[in-house]
Each structure stands twice: as C-alpha cells, then as structure tokens.
Amino acid sequence: MGQVPTAPPPTLTGTGVSPGIGYGPARVLVLDVPEPEAGARHDGDARAERERAEWALEQVAADLEARGARVGGEAEQVLHAQAMMARDPELATRTGELIDRGVAAPRAVFAAFGTYRGLLAAAGGYLGERVADLDDVRDRVIALLTGRPLPGAAEFAAAGSGMGVTTPFVLVARDLAPADTALLSPDAVAAFVTEQGGPTSHTAILARSLGVPAVVGCTGATAIPPGVPLLVDGAGGSVRLSPPAHEVARARRVARAGRAVLPAVSSTQVSGSHLFRRGMTADGHAVPLLANIGGPRDVESALAYGAEGVGLFRTEFLFLGRAAAPSVAEQAEAYRAVFEAFPGDRVVVRTLDAGADKPLAFLPPSGVEPNPALGERGLRLLRRHRDVMNVQLAALAAAATKTSAKAQVMAPMVATAEEAEWFALACRTAGLASPGIMIEVPAAALRAADLIGAVDFLSIGTNDLTQYALAADRQVGSVAGLQDPWHPAVLDLVAATASAASGAGKGCGVCGEAAADPVLACVFVGMGVTSLSMAAPALPAVRAALIRHALAQCAAAASAARSARSAVDARAAAEAALSRT
C-alpha cells in the first residue's frame, strides 16, 4: 500500500499475450487507496470535519447511482447497493462519533467501515464477497477526502458503454477480474497492460477473444502516470511510454503488414474457393477450426476470421455480477443469438463454469476453500446447485430446437466416469441429444476410455489440464514458467485422451489457448485431435500452418515432441519435424 510513485523508465516489458499494436493514453486503475494514518487528527473544527465526511459519502453515493443508471441491468443493482452503503445511517453515525473525538475524517471513515468489514468477512459466503464492494465504496470516499484520483470503476463504466470515450485508451491495472472486464467494449480499449497474470490469465484470454493487444506480467505498470501515451506491442511484450510519432507510425505499419501476410498465404494455397475457410492438412484431412467465444458480442469477430463454428461458448457472461441466476427465457435468447449466427455448424456450449477464480454470489461452495482450484468448481458446483444447471439445460434445449446449428453441450471439470454419466443423463433428460465433457483433470485424461462411453465427444481444456498436470496455479505469475502446454507430460495426456476418443469412434477437440499456437495445433492434429477451437484472431495463422503440412508430418511432429524431455525441447523437435519436406 501507498508507495510514492516514481517516474517509470521509458519502456516497460512484460509478456505479450494478445498480438497487435495498441496506442492510446494510459488509464490506470488504482485499486489500492492507502490506509489513512492511524492517529491522524483534524484541526479541531469537528463540525466542519463532519460535514466534509458527509459530503464525501454523499458524492460517492450519487456517483455510484449515476453510473448504475448508465449501465443498467444487474450491474445497476450492484452499484445501487453500493450507493446504499455510502448512505448508511449507522456508518454516518460511527464516522461522526469518531470525528467528534478528534479523529480526522479519512481515518474516521476507514475505521467506521472497518467495523462492518470485519462482520461481513466473518460471516463468509455471500456476505464475505460483499467485502470487496464495501472496500470499493470506502476507498472512493477516502480518495475523495484525500484529493486522490478515484479508484477505477469509472474506466470500466466508460469502457463498457463507450460513453465519454473519444480516444481508445490503454487500460493499465494490477490485474483484471472477470466480473470487471465482462462489461468492456473493444472499441474503447486500445490495449490492456497488467502487472500480474500469465498467458492463460483471464486478462490474456479476454484480450485475445476481443482482439485487443495485451501485455501481462508487466512490473511497474501501475506507476505509469495517467494520461501518458502508451505504445503497446501485444506480441513482443513491450510498453513504450510517450513514444515519438514516427515510432507509432512504424509500429502500426509493421502490424498492418503482418496482418496482410497470413490471409495471403492461405488464399494462395487453397485458390479462391470457399474451401479457404475450412481447416485441413495439406493432404486434405479436415480439421474443423472453431472459435472460443464469451457471448454474442464475440460472434462478429468469429465470423470475420472464418470460424467453422464454435468449439467453446463460455456462458459465464450471463451469470457474472448477478444476485440470482437468469431465467430460462433470458438465457435461451442469448444462446439462440449465437446459434443463429452459425447455421449448419457446430456450436459447443459449456455449462456454467463457476468456482475457483470465478466465484458467483448465488453459487457458494459448501465451505471455506484454502485451495479453490482443487475445490468445488465447474460440474462439482453444479451438482450442488442442480436447479441452476437444469435451468441452463432447459434454456439450451429450448434455443436448440429453433435453429439449424448443431448445438452441443459440455460440462467443465469432470474427473470421473460417474460424473460423466451423471451429466450425460441430465442432458438427455433435458432433451439435449449430444452431451460431451471437458478433459481438464489429469485423472480424466488418463482414464478417458472409461469416461467416453457415456458421452458423444471430448474437449480438452489445455489451460487447466496444464495447471493440474504441473501443479502450477494459473493465477500465480511466479510459476508461469511451468504453465507450458508444450511440457511432454501435457502432450502425453492430450495423446491419451485423443487415442481413447478415436478408439471409441468419437470426436476429441482441443479448446484451450494451446490450440492457438500454430505449431502445437499441428502436433495436436498429429495425435488424433479432430477439431481445434481458439480465440478467433488466432484462426488464420493456425489455418495457414495446417494447410502446409500433411497429416503424416503432423504425426511425426507429435511423436518427436513427446520424445523430448522438456517443453523447450519438445517445441524445437516439433518445429524441426514440421520443417522437413
């Protein structure tokens, strides 16, 4: 908390996780407002100090309410509840009492909030999650009283609505939570830069799916003064402060040239027919190339990049920031909007994947989880909250009947054959004919032959599979080095899964971020993976890589990679095998 910002060097570096060049003024999310000094006294005029505190509380309440009205929907309810906290009469009384005893307004506000903070945190569950809301209100009030810039939700609101944003900005933060970023509009954000996170963090995934350049793990980023123009290279990982105009122009030129190359490659390889959009190897082995989407807003980008369907439709956007699950009708409408964009194509919908790093207020786990990645998440949580799953399945069944898309459903975080059977039965009971499961748990990968009997297809989630295989938390930057899907252990698990699926005559896709790596995509196909799904902007490069290599060459690359002893060697071996002609 509260270090004095020093001028950052002209270029910061992190990990580029979403390619492209972004340029715009920095908008820095200051999530930490320093704790007002314990012993701070006011100058003796208690009445004036009380008025100052009351003014700040009311300002914050009015601001939260105004932004709520602008955003609407469930977000409005959350902001409205926060406004009520700022206007709380008991809070005002406690603050006033402290000020009467000589305590300075910022410290009095801090202490008054602290009482309730402790009570809510002790209650845990839903109330425990409100602590973050309460802290946000507290920090806003203290920021106002101490003349600091307000914490960042204004940026989110502006970015979500597009209102008040004339120049796209670079959003700089310590980290971005899924609930925050769910409202962002790609038109308002030129790039993301975060201090924490790795290649599979939520920021990275969100940025790739929006097609917004992003750099994560960028130390010192939040010390960048607000408004400073930033040039962000989402491939190379550099963040240039106040670059001269000719540098910006050159970077943009290079980015444009890079974009122009890939479609040119694939269109000359498969001359001019509609086959341009179909993924296949050089010898004509078809590998459908699908898009990962986070909601109807990603459909346009998926179509523009030639997706042959959707391999992973994340449904969390419908549930985030809400006090209760959305109705059948509301869900069905959102699903239908996506189905209708892909007539005749596959659209694989993943049921709600809550828990761990994506907690939801109305789906509390049964107890405290010291290690949430290994706790009640995905299907485990849905088994405790069957009503939520049944409503979602009913909505999917309703949406699927009125479309020509091949709608399929899959469950996240399946570990055992019994879980696979339970989910398949629930789907079939709801009228969904083609259930599938995700393979993210090493146990499920190793025993995929036991799980596949109950379902129609498997889909490998490489991010979680890597996290669990290497015991390296996706959210912890310091173990990001282990988060490498090229690790031969991960490749073995993918191969075991693909081989079990092919033995049963069923499909096995990969829908993790690893499928977006053109070389790894060839390796997966060589192992027998039947479809690849990724953030839409990655599709052209993967399509171009596949069409240059025959299936046998991909198989040789897979075999070479699995013979290596490290991730680095595996990649080098695969690249060597693919470059042989």
Partner 1 sequence: MAERKVTVTSEVGLHARPAATFVQTAAKAPFDVMIAKVDGPPVNAKSILAVLSLDVEQGDFIVVSAEGEGADELLDQLVEIVSAP
> Does residue 120 belong to the site contacting partner 1 (CB under 8 A)?
yes
Q: Which of residues 178-217 bind partner 1 (CB under 8 A)?
A: none
427 is catalytic: no
DSSP codes of every residue in 124-149: -HHHHHHHHHHHHHHHHHHHHHTTPP
User: Residue 156 is inside which H or E element, if any?
Assistant: helix 153-161
Residue 180 CB, nearest distance to partner 1 (Å)? 20
Sign of the C-alpha dihedral, residues 481, 462, 302, 399? negative
Rounded to whole angstroms, the Cα distance separating 478 from 463 reads 16
Residue 93 CB, nearest distance to partner 1 (Å)? 9
Q: Does 474 show up as a binding residue in the annotation?
A: yes
By CB under 8 A, which span of 75-83, 162-170, 435-443, 520-528 interacts with partner 1?
A: 75-83
Single out the residue of 45, 90, 247, 418 in contact with partner 1 (rule: CB under 8 A). 90
Q: Does 314 show up as a binding residue in the annotation?
A: yes
> Does residue 80 belong to the site contacting partner 1 (CB under 8 A)?
yes
> Does residue 308 belong to the site contacting partner 1 (CB under 8 A)?
no
Q: Does 180 show up as a binding residue in the annotation?
A: no
Q: Find tokens 């259930």 and name the residue.
A: 435
Which residue lies nearer to partner 1 by CB, 133 or 569?
133
Q: Which of residues 127-146 bind partner 1 (CB under 8 A)?
A: 127, 130, 134
511 is catalytic: yes
Q: Which of residues 360-389 bind partner 1 (CB under 8 A)?
A: 361-362
Closest Cα to residue 512, out of 464, 455, 471, 546?
Answer: 464
Q: Does 440 show up as a binding residue in the annotation?
A: yes
Residue 396 neighbours by CB under 8 Å, 6+ apart: 331, 332, 335, 349, 407, 409, 430, 432
Out of 202, 385, 487, 549, pick the active-site residue. 202
List, edge to edge, every strand of the sheet that includes 238-241.
Answer: 11-13, 238-241, 229-233, 21-28, 169-173, 189-194, 214-216, 15-18
Size of the site for partner 1 (CB under 8 A): 21
> Does residue 31 belong to the site contacting partner 1 (CB under 8 A)?
no
Residue 130 CB, nearest distance to partner 1 (Å)? 7
Rounded to whole angstroms, the Cα distance separating 8 from 24 reads 17
Cβ contact 550:556 at 8 Å = no
Which residue lies nearer to partner 1 by CB, 89 or 272?
89
By CB under 8 A, which span of 40-48, 49-57, 122-130, 420-428 interacts with partner 1?
A: 122-130
CA 318 to chain centre: 14
Closest Cα to residue 65, out of 42, 47, 81, 41?
Answer: 81
Cβ contact 477:525 at 8 Å = no
Using CB under 8 A, list all residues that contact partner 1. Answer: 77, 80-81, 84-85, 88-91, 116, 119-120, 123, 126-127, 130, 134, 323-324, 361-362
Binding residues for phosphoenolpyruvate: 314, 350, 463-464, 474
**Catalytic positions, please?**
202, 511
